Chains A and B, each alone.
Chain A
Amino acid sequence: MDAVWNISFLQELLLSTIRMATPILLVAIAELYSERAGMVNIGLDGLMAIGALVGFLVGYNTMNPFLGLLAGAAAGVAINMIFAFFTVSLCAEQIVYGMATNILAPALASFIYRLSFSDTSVLIKGVAQDAAAIPGLSQIPFFGKLLFNHPPLVYFAYILVILTGIFFSRTRPGLNFKAVGEFPRAAETMGIRVINVKYIACIICGALAGLGGAYLTICYTNTYSEGIVAGRGFIALSAVIFGRWVSGGVMMACLLFGFCDALQIRLQLIFPNTPYQLLQMIPYVCTLLALIFFGIRKNGPKANGQPYFREER
């Protein structure tokens, strides 16, 4: 137990928390934008998978991590446009098309991967983005390494949380955006272009989800393997609900999940005789407990998940 009760254990645990929470956070913010415009997109896992692959491929071929991340985001947008066209323009059922994305995109990703590398038995190594330490701040003992020594995308994710919070509560476009998710017909009569807002939401959602996927293959590891997303999209989906559709809450939900996951790995090492399945349940049990504790009094956007028929009365 001596190995546990010291400052470096705590630091490693929290560092690990931030690393594990970041991809989920990016994708959860993606879903937040989508749901605020009334679009429930459960296809996040699929968007991450295609983002992870395209980001990896472009990074591998250009050896430029930034291009890889951009390409991952672009791929996410491209795939999410299928969802957008069917659910916004054709008013189809959102859950069905989200599920379709989850089936189509990972299969497309493995197809492209095999076209690119045939069926080689070694994992191909791509490009990795190094941590960018912020000069000065990263020298602060304990907190410096914890908060200011990460790949740029990590800073981006946390800045995005703040910007999103300001956007939705303090700016006119943000309030208009929210109105589309609450009562699109009223928003339309007030002169808000509902269809446009919904498309913009889908573009933001696709870009951020693709970026979250690319984080896995460029910033986190530098290899791509099928199934690397490992259900993170669904966790992000629950983080949005858990976080009560506000960016700060979503961030806390993601951090809690990251913390529990980082903790369960370490508990496996500390208590080797405990069945590991029990410890792996911790993140999910915590989510359940937190939901019970906080209750579900505050609901999400009122028109969430409902198709908007513009010309119907």
Chain B
Amino acid sequence: MRRRFTALLTVAALTGAMIAGCGSSTSGSASGSPSASESGKSSKTTEYKVAMLLDSSVSDGGWGASCYQAMLKAAKEEGWDNAYTDNVAQSDYATVITDYCDQGYNLIFAPGNQYQDAVVQVAADYSKIDFCILNGTAEKDNVTSVLPDAHQIGYMAGALAGLMSKTNSIGFIGGMELDTTKQKLECYTKAAQKVNPSITVQSAYAGSFNDAAKGKEIAGSMVSTYNVDVMFGDASAVDAGARETLGSLSGCYDIGQPGDLGSADDKLIICSVVTDNAALVEQCMKDVESGSYGNKTIRGDLSNGCLSVGTFSSAVPKDVQDKYMEYISQIKSGTFIQ
């Protein structure tokens, strides 16, 4: 009997500890971190706070990481306090957003189309709080969508892949079949074939953004079966796995995104298509401060500096770089592909 009681007690204790400890990890910077507010504009009378949620991790080396860094950078620039919750399951989106609303956050940053339904649902109940959806399409009184141009991202990567491929065979790895991923793939194909009409594009989906091993296998199968030599990916950590395969082979290149992943002496990453989400988030914060928030979509493209070309590797010859920059200016002016 006593043993059963001990067991029950420990079960209760452990369950309690678990609920407290690992529902999901929330950053502590919200609970009074003076350094965050001091580094910003101290003249502000009201303390503004931004919170974000993520279904992946802030340290995934891809989409999640870049969105988190974007929020951090924007919050620092504007002197806002910030917090995040990552690894949120789909069924918990609305709960996490509501929690932040109840805690008095001024802006909720939801970096992805997948959060849209939850955001719109919660936003209807909290008219004083503003919401920002990255890659979203919703426009409400307190909801602004921020939309980096997926077409231009696809064109930028495709043009470079088309210029650099020697085997006339290039690859694309997607995580999930999101709208933006499909647009990127479509435009990637169009741009590459415009630059080099004999290009064929191989594409595959990993069904995950985290399974690096899967990325490695996909890249390997593309190279061995179709002799792919330039790869572009839209799948965070899966891309990192793909790069491992490509890096072990000579003459294979990768195009990075969304951060500037390459460097001049990088043998693998020839260039990156850089998306500066921070500028867009910052724009949202300015709108919140000035009270002009909502009912609009802020678009990010080459012309407003949200998209840009990253660092070229020395593997890209000077004349190819010049030619590529020519295409970029065409993409910017909208004359590249009508």
Chain A residues near B (Cβ < 8 Å): 3-4, 8-9, 12, 16, 19-20, 23, 86, 90-92, 96, 100, 103-104, 107-108, 110-111, 113-114, 117, 119-123, 216, 220-223, 225-228, 230, 261-262, 265-266, 268-269, 272, 276-277, 280
Complex CA gap A192/B279 in Å reads: 69
Q: Could you list 6 examples of A-B contacts with CB < 8 Å?
A: A20-B213, A86-B11, A90-B10, A121-B61, A225-B240, A226-B57
Contact status B56-A226, CB under 8 Å: yes
Point out the residue from B22, B59, B218, B226 that lies within 8 Å of A119, measured CB to CB: B59
Residue on A with the closest CB to B259? Answer: A121
Interface 9-residue window, one of B94-102, B129-137, B200-208: B200-208
The answer to whether A103 and B18 touch across the interface, beta carbons within 8 angstroms, is yes
Query: Least Cβ distance of B174 to chain A in Å?
Result: 8
Q: Knowing A90-B7, A223-B241, say if A122 contacts B261 (CB, 8 Å).
A: yes
A72 to chain B, nearest CB (A): 15
B157 interface residue per 8 A CB criterion? no
Contacting chain A: which of B63-71, B191-199, B304-312?
Answer: B63-71
Interface string of B86-111 (1 = CB under 8 A from A): 01000000000000000000000000
**A108 contacts across to B, CB distance below 8 A:** 22
Is there an interface contact between A272 and B261, defined as CB atoms closer than 8 Å?
A: no
Which partner residue on chain B sits nearest A6 by CB separation? B225
Q: How many A-B residue pairs have CB under 8 A?
A: 155
> Considering the chains assembled together, what is the distance between the CA atoms of A286 and B243 in angstroms?
30
**Contact of A227 with B210 at beta-carbon distance under 8 Å, contacts A123-B61, A221-B241 already known:** yes
List B residues at the A interface (Cβ < 8 Å).
3, 6-7, 10-11, 14-15, 18, 21-22, 25, 56-62, 65-66, 68-69, 87, 177, 202-205, 207-214, 216-218, 220-222, 224-226, 236-237, 240-241, 244, 259, 261
- A119–B259 CA distance with the chains assembled, in angstroms: 15
Task: Tell me if B22 and A230 are in contact (CB < 8 A).
Answer: no
Task: With A110-B25, A276-B207 as known contacts, state yes or no: A216 contacts B213, CB within 8 Å.
Answer: yes
List residues of chain A with CB within 8 A of the CB of B11: 86, 92, 96
A8 lies within 8 A of B237 (CB): no
Specify which of A9, A23, A111, A117 is in contact with B225 (CB 8 Å cutoff). A9
Closest CB pairs A-B (n = 6): A227-B210, A123-B61, A107-B22, A225-B237, A121-B65, A90-B7
Q: Are A228 and B202 in contact (CB under 8 A)?
A: no
Shortest CB distance A274–B (Å) = 11
Select one of B6, B21, B221 contacting A269, CB under 8 A. B221
Contact B225 A3 (CB under 8 A): yes
Q: Judge whether B202 and A269 touch: CB under 8 Å.
A: yes
Which chain A residue lies CB-closest to B60?
A225
> Across the two chains, which residue of chain A brings its CB closest to B238?
A225
- Determine if B240 and A123 form an interchain contact, defined as CB atoms under 8 angstroms apart: yes
Cα–Cα, bound, A223→B208 (Å): 16
